[in-house]
Amino acid sequence: MQPEPVHHRVISWYQDHARDLPWRSEDCTPWGVLVSEVMLQQTPVARVLPRWEEWLRRWPDPQSTAEAPSAEILTVWDRLGYPRRALRLQQAAAAIVERHNGEVPSTREELRALPGIGEYTAAAVACFAFGAPEVVVDTNIRRVHARVFAGDALPGKTYTAAQRRLAHRVFPDPELDDGQFASAWNIAVMELGALVCTARPPKCEQCPLAELCAWRLAGSPPPSEQQRGQAQAWAGTDRQVRGALMAALRQEGPTEREDLLAGLALPSADLDQRVRCLESLLSDGLAEQRGVQVALPGVL
């Protein structure tokens, strides 16, 4: 299938159905876009919105973020998950101040060199904040690519070399109109994957690509075992225990170690798991201990 008809249909659909999100507004700063992209990793928009707004109210630029106490950074991050992202974002802010005079760099290469900024985030910020025609691929985009062009029900958990080649093959020509059309494709196809071409069930009756989709034309076959993957468990995992410990420290402040370990309302987590998770938080710099007291970093 030639990708050009797909490009035009998806971008036209986006113009009528795009969500009104603050980090998409014309007056959003590149720093606001960068904060949104870090927060949105593996986290739904509904949970990110209030945290993003609070973050930008407190720390509207890299300079203020770099100077903020780490305990406040983690408190505002709240329950977004993977709190190391919050500290990495603060480290990126410090690097922006040191290397780029407090201005978010505009190129993928410069962004990629910042602490904690991976391939996807660097491309996304270059595209969405600066209009650069970079190939942006998240889970939603991979799913649309898999169905529309490859005829697969799901893309699988891993971003494969074949999927990377497909993403580049179907990307609009960046030489046209200074890359504006190519940049528009990224956000449009991402939104289609988030709102219509969802994992299960997809809303095919609302899709502008229904009559072009290779998966639909093949009869919508179910995903293979490899495509399906395994849903990541939560209850009883170290991630759940670490999250509960962080929530207790945010809410209670400095707490005696034994009281912190005993006070978690997680009957399935034995003492060994609680100790292991607390030690991992201390090792990651997400908490600190002085004597018998444990707190968020910089509080004791």
Expressed in angstroms, the distance from the first to the final Cα of the chain is: 61
d(CA 200, CA 193): 11
Q: Does the pLDDT at position 232 exceed 80? A: no
**DSSP 8-state code for residue 40:** T
Dump pLDDT digits (tens) for 157-213. Answer: 889 999 999 999 999 999 888 889 999 999 999 999 999 999 989 999 999 999 999
54 labelled catalytic: no
Dump pLDDT digits (tens) for 162-175. Answer: 999 999 999 999 98
Contacts of residue 24, Cβ cutoff 8 Å, sequence gap at least 6: 18, 128, 187
**DSSP 8-state code for residue 148:** I
Q: Give the Cα-Cα-Cα angle 39, 132, 66 (nearest 5 degrees).
A: 40
Active-site annotation holder among 37, 134, 191, 288: 37
Kindly list the domain boundaries of the chain, sorted by start residue.
238-295
Helix and strand tally (H, E) in the chain?
Answer: 16, 3
By the 8 A CB rule, do 121 and 111 touch?
yes
The CATH architecture assigned to 238-295 reads: Orthogonal Bundle (1.10)
Q: What is the dihedral of CA 48, 167, 27, 108, to 10 degrees?
A: 100
- Mean pLDDT for the stretch of residues 3-18: 97
Phi, psi (rounded to 5 degrees) for 290: -135, 115
Question: What is the pTM assigned to this prediction?
Answer: 0.87
